[in-house]
Amino acid sequence: MHLIARKIKTLSKLVIYKNWNVLLHKIPILRFALNATNYIPHPNKYKMILLGGHGLGVNSFVYYLNKINIKTSSITNKPFIFWGDLQCILVDSINTKYTNKILSKLTYKVMVYQLVRCPISTIKSVINVLILNYISILNNKDDVYNLLLKTLENNHFMIFHFTSINKLISHITLQKQYITMNDINDDNFPTTLEKISKEINANWGGQNELNDKESVVKGSTFFRCFPHIFTIDNVRFALTIESKIYASRPQEIDLSVIQFRKPYLIKDSFHILRNNIIYKHYTNYPLVLLKLGNKKIQIERFNNAINAEIEKYFTYLDNILYKHQILSLDKDEIIEFLYNNPFGITLAKQIHRELQILRDDNIALLDDFNDTREFLNKFNIDIYSNVI
């Protein structure tokens, strides 16, 4: 009875806080039904497949694909089968219970674009994001190293699984192109998107569609600290980065720790009250202030309280970003830790295997993998050789 009562209490909290995604996955019959829809053969309407995962710039890429009307969604989103107007399928995880089965049901050959990056650099990005996700329970570097090891040992996200994922999509690959981090930086991103748009015959509206005031690089810690949604006298406001107004991505501070809270997403109608709000040195991420909902208000009555809330959140960010800076790992710390850990050699061999497809297709891509080359050299493994 105690167990049943606890489960009912858990489900009630999820309903109260409208955490529908977690709720659906807590109920076995609903979870099974949603997963089952992804096993149905998908209509052959998609035009491209994007391969990429955490630390590879995939969020930026998907944001801008959607911005130029190339509708994109992860293959693991449910119900995948009903998204008939989907133009780009994102494959961002591997070794899940159903990813392989979903991919096996696809039959239509299309262009495949694979994001590639130095694996050690990718691991660095991933762990430094996770530090933000778990920041309230991380007290020192030892905690961070434990988190790093746990993440790598249980990893199913496609951090560096270049060869494995290509084996799963070889039957639906018409032609494949690799996209490097240089291809999606602030200077080159528009050209890369235009090229892709032409290759898949999408409706490219020109670079005017990409006229963001903020950096195209969406992976920074600061970007992940928004939106900040707050309430004053029953009126809801949001302080956020402009691109997160429409991206439906939550604030990521302690995201993996606090399950029972309202997702920090902007789903209401809104009115922009202020723009170009700048937080310290982050001038490439101007903030906007929104009033959420349709209720009419006299904004002058709220200005002082809004200003106080913004200053309060900026002070909170000062502390969060400082702690994050202290706990963050650089590549030397990561390499040294892995070299001295028994798991290090296992990881080195795994990374070397996953680079096989790059050695076969375009070995010059490995020239930019400096951190990974340094890591593999620790174990006398040649990044360019197929033999260990």
Examine the domain organization and report whether 7 and 61 are in the same domain: yes
Give me the sign of the Cα torsion angle 107, 59, 68, 177. Answer: negative
Examine the domain organization and report whether 235 and 198 are in the same domain: no
User: Residue 58 and residue 71: Cα distance in Å, rounded?
Assistant: 14
Examine the domain organization and report whether 238 and 99 are in the same domain: no
Examine the domain organization and report whether 51 and 184 are in the same domain: yes
Residues 14-43 have a mean pLDDT of 57
Residues 316-343 have a mean pLDDT of 97
pLDDT at position 107 over 90: no
Examine the domain organization and report whether 66 and 201 are in the same domain: yes
pLDDT at position 43 over 90: no
pLDDT at position 17 over 50: no
User: Residue 147 and residue 66: Cα distance in Å, rounded?
Assistant: 33
**What is the arrangement of strands in the sheet containing 235-241, beginning at the earlier edge strand?**
228-232, 235-241, 287-292, 270-277
Examine the domain organization and report whether 275 and 353 are in the same domain: no
Short-list 266, 220, 225, CA closest to 247: 266
Examine the domain organization and report whether 162 and 274 are in the same domain: no
Name the band, by pLDDT with cuts 50, 70 and 90, for residue 36.
low
Within-domain flag for 234? yes
User: Residue 200 and residue 193: Cα distance in Å, rounded?
Assistant: 11
pLDDT at position 266 over 70: no
pLDDT at position 23 over 60: no
Please give the DSSP secondary-structure letter assigned to residue 315.
H
Of 28-32, 172-176, 300-304, the least confident: 28-32
Within-domain flag for 139? no
Residue 170's pLDDT is what?
95
Residue 260's pLDDT is what?
42
For 354-365, write each residue's pLDDT tens digit.
Answer: 999 999 999 999
Name the band, by pLDDT with cuts 50, 70 and 90, for residue 376.
very high
Residue 209's pLDDT is what?
59
Q: Measure CA 243 to chain center.
A: 14
Those residues with Cβ within 8 angstroms of residue 35's Cβ, 6 or more apart along the chain or in another chain: 78, 97, 98
Residue 130's pLDDT is what?
94
Examine the domain organization and report whether 107 and 253 are in the same domain: no
Examine the domain organization and report whether 39 and 179 are in the same domain: yes
pLDDT at position 325 over 50: yes
Provide the residue range defining the domain that includes 301.
223-324
Which one is predicted more confidently, 242 or 385?
Answer: 385
Those residues with Cβ within 8 angstroms of residue 274's Cβ, 6 or more apart along the chain or in another chain: 288, 289
Examine the domain organization and report whether 6 and 86 are in the same domain: yes
Which one is predicted more confidently, 352 or 276?
Answer: 352
For 274-285, write each residue's pLDDT tens digit.
Answer: 998 999 878 888
Q: What percent of the chain has pLDDT over 70?
A: 76
Which one is predicted more confidently, 157 or 283?
Answer: 283
